[in-house]
Amino acid sequence: MFTGIITDIGELVSLDKQGDWRLRIKTNWETTEITIGASIACSGICLTVIERDDNYFDVAASMETVSVTTLQNWQIGTKINLERALRMGDELGGHIVSGHVDGIATITDIKPEKDSHHIRFEIEDTLNGLIASKGSVSIDGISLTVNSVANNSFDVNIIAHTWQETTLGNRAVGDTVNLEIDMLARYVARLLETQKNQ
């Protein structure tokens, strides 16, 4: 489990696509504190650490994960939002994030607004109705509050700190991002689907 509060921006320095993909991510973290087998949210994707050294860690991604996330487009040099798994007693600064991506969203508009930036995202039809105004979403692992929802799109405001301390500051219109809907919305949708089929 994660909270959507990014603590480092990593960089993809190696990518092996034989079998399950193996990714080497450079980080500023003290890697000796990372346990083999630990879960790390990499731009919102929960991945398992399989190796570590002085300034990097390696994770593995199955083809299922690659096929449903933006990981399929990552290249050497890609910047990655990083968050280590929540520990008992840690501050819950964002919202509960599982690291299980629900779909890919596309940036359709970015507008500066004073010190902030207003971003609009277009979502897949399958996620329509699962995002609520003033609810929470995770975009590339970042916990954000939804401003408004219209048809197959929603928008958020990004404060200056988040703009500078995450990969959002390097995004452009047309870029795709990993989207995780609020966990409660996911289970409510499943319950309604089950009731509908009875």
CATH of domain 103-196: 2.40.30.20
Q: Is 154 exposed, middle or buried (0-12, 13-18, 19+ CB in 10 A)?
A: buried
CA angle 91, 94, 99 (to 5 degrees): 105
Domain ranges (residues) in the chain: 8-84, 103-196
pLDDT at residue 181, rounded to an integer: 92
CATH of domain 8-84: 2.40.30.20
pLDDT at residue 89, rounded to an integer: 65
pLDDT at residue 129, rounded to an integer: 84
DSSP-derived letter for residue 39 is: E
Strands (E), 70-175: 79-84, 103-113, 116-122, 136-139, 142-150, 153-158
CA 155 to chain CA centroid, Å, is: 16
**8-84 and 103-196, same CATH topology:** yes
pLDDT at residue 189, rounded to an integer: 66
pLDDT along the chain (198 residues), means of 10: 94 96 97 96 98 96 96 98 84 82 97 96 90 94 96 96 97 97 75 73
